[in-house]
């Protein structure tokens, strides 16, 4: 088979790494890819958002399956464009991807179909948003840009004053452009978080192993939110919590989408908070998480390709459940100085060749660039995702951090507490 992976982050490097191991694959492409994917696939100079260009390439090369990594092209209808040309493309179509593309849609779906989530209020008008804040009892509240904002559109506010500032960033200063033309205020929930990613063709539902992301930029969950600074998988869930997640959230979400006439095929990611009252939906994403993918795929021992094919073709019921390595995986993301705010690019990365990569240790590239024969340079906020397996969490942590210790670039920073017990 010929497979095309679309995207250029750490998630897509991990997807290429896993797909390249399948005996079904004769040729692997990545559009546009990064220096990490270049080592295992042919990078194609077509941007992930260039839907017409992707369709053209898939037709010309006779691609059997295209796998979309990021939410941007999914929400813009890449799957619909491929399907129209009778090309097989993995991921939800535009109508189904709205579950991530619009937080307002996702919240209203939860309300209508009784999926447990925080109380919420939607505003387009800045004055109305301010007077709502003036008229409630002061206290914590969460402010979210309704549209896509690369994981940076959420502010957890301690009080109404902070919430006013966050709402003004969206509605007045248009920091997130059109994506912030609506804001969602949410009741502020408390508890540990878990990412539950499920493979579904709209009928059969196959949950992957639970993973825990670390969103804030600094140790101890301090500082602004990022796309994700590190992940541990698996996460031990109490049996009651695990069954509530399945019966109150994952299954009802897939069925709710069917009832709305938006059959969901692809990876469905539920970001959950495990509160004293049970699991609550924080967000849905229409794709694999980044960096959740990196440690999850390192622990997946089954071939991923048949799972992707069966999902896209609507026959997931024909497959055996995936098999997981029993070991723990820890992924730590190394970032550019300043991320998630402004940062400089173009610094050489040294030490990559000193890392002894193998089945239990991988350095996935995210924001990197390389001219032919030149150094690997930083080219984004999240630069590398160092991912290790270990017999237990301490062993996996030790392996990941030892590898990180060999790598250097100007301004590099990463969390030191990924996988440590929560304070």
Helix (H, G, I), strand (E, B) or coil at 47: coil
Residue 12 interacts with ligand GLY (CB under 6 A)? no
Residue 194 interacts with ligand AMP (CB under 6 A)? no
- Cα gap 423→419, rounded to integer Å: 12
Nearest residue to ligand GLY by CB is: 228
Residue 118 site contact among ligand GLY, ligand AMP, none (CB < 5 to 8 Å, cut-off depends on kind): ligand AMP
Q: Is the bond into 210 cis (omega within 30 degrees of 0)? A: no
- Cα gap 209→35, rounded to integer Å: 28
Write the CA distances from 191 to 150, 233, 278, 279, 338, integer angstroms: 23, 18, 10, 9, 28
In angstroms, give the least distance from the CB of 280 to ligand AMP: 8
In angstroms, give the least distance from the CB of 119 to ligand AMP: 9
Residue 260 site contact among ligand AMP, ligand GLY, none (CB < 5 to 8 Å, cut-off depends on kind): none
Residue 292 interacts with ligand GLY (CB under 6 A)? yes
Question: Which of 188/242 has CB closer to ligand AMP?
Answer: 188
Q: Which stretch binds ligand AMP (CB under 6 A): 75-83, 183-191, 395-403, 413-421?
A: 183-191
Could you give the dihedral angle defined by the CA atoms of residues 310, 316, 322 and 328, in that order, rounded to the nearest 10 degrees? 90
Site string for ligand AMP, 360-379 (x = CB under 6 A): --------------------
Q: Which stretch binds ligand AMP (CB under 6 A): 185-193, 240-248, 306-314, 327-335?
A: 185-193
Residue 285 site contact among ligand AMP, ligand GLY, none (CB < 5 to 8 Å, cut-off depends on kind): ligand GLY
Strands ordered across the beta sheet of 193-200: 205-207, 193-200, 266-275, 278-285
| DSSP annotation of 245 | I
- Is there a contact between 123 and 129 (Cβ–Cβ < 8 Å)? yes
Q: What DSSP line would sit under 76-126, residue for residue?
A: TTHHHHHHHTT--EES--HHHHHHHH-HHHHHHHHHHHT-----EEEES-H
Site string for ligand AMP, 113-132 (x = CB under 6 A): -----x--------------
Give the footprint of ligand GLY on this chain (CB under 6 A). 151, 213, 227-228, 285, 289-290, 292
């Amino acid at each position: 088979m010929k497979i095309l992976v679309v995207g250029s982050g750490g998630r897509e490097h991990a997807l290429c790494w896993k797909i390249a191991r399948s005996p079904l694959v004769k040729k692997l492409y990545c559009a546009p890819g990064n220096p990490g994917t270049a080592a295992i696939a042919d990078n194609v100079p077509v941007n992930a958002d260039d839907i017409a260009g992707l369709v053209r390439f898939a037709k010309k090369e006779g691609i059997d399956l295209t796998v979309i990594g990021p939410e941007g092209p999914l929400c813009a209808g890449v799957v619909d464009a491929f399907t129209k040309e009778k090309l097989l493309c993995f991921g939800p179509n535009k109508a189904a991807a709205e579950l991530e593309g619009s937080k307002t849609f996702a919240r209203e779906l939860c309300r209508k179909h009784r999926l447990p989530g925080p109380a919420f209020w939607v505003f387009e008008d800045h004055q109305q948003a301010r007077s709502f804040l003036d008229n409630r009892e002061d206290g914590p509240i969460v402010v979210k840009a309704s549209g896509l904002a690369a994981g940076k559109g959420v502010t957890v506010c301690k009080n109404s004053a902070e919430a006013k500032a966050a709402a003004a960033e969206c509605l007045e200063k248009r920091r997130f452009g059109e994506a912030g033309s609506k804001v969602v205020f949410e009741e502020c929930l408390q508890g540990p978080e878990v990412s539950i990613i499920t493979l579904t063709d709209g009928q059969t539902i196959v949950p992957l192993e639970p993973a825990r992301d670390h969103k804030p930029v600094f140790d101890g969950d301090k500082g602004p939110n990022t796309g994700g600074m590190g992940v541990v998988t698996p996460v031990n869930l109490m049996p009651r919590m695990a069954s509530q997640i399945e019966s109150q959230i994952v299954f009802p979400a897939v069925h709710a989408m069917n009832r709305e006439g938006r059959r969901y095929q692809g990876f469905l990611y539920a970001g959950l908070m495990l509160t004293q009252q049970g699991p609550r939906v924080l967000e849905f994403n229409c794709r694999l998480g980044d960096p959740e993918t990196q440690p999850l795929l390192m622990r997946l021992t089954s071939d991923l390709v048949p799972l992707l094919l069966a999902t896209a073709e609507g026959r997931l019921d024909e497959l055996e459940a995936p098999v997981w390595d029993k070991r723990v995986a820890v992924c730590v993301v190394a970032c550019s100085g300043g991320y998630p705010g402004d940062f400089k690019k173009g610094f050489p990365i040294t030490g990559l060749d000193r890392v002894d990569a193998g089945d239990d240790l991988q350095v996935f590239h995210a924001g990197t660039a390389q001219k032919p024969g030149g150094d690997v340079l930083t080219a984004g906020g999240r630069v590398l995702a160092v991912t290790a397996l270990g017999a237990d969490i301490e062993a996996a942590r030790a392996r990941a951090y030892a590898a990180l210790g060999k790598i250097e670039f100007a301004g590099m920073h990463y969390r030191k507490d990924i996988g440590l017990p929560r304070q």
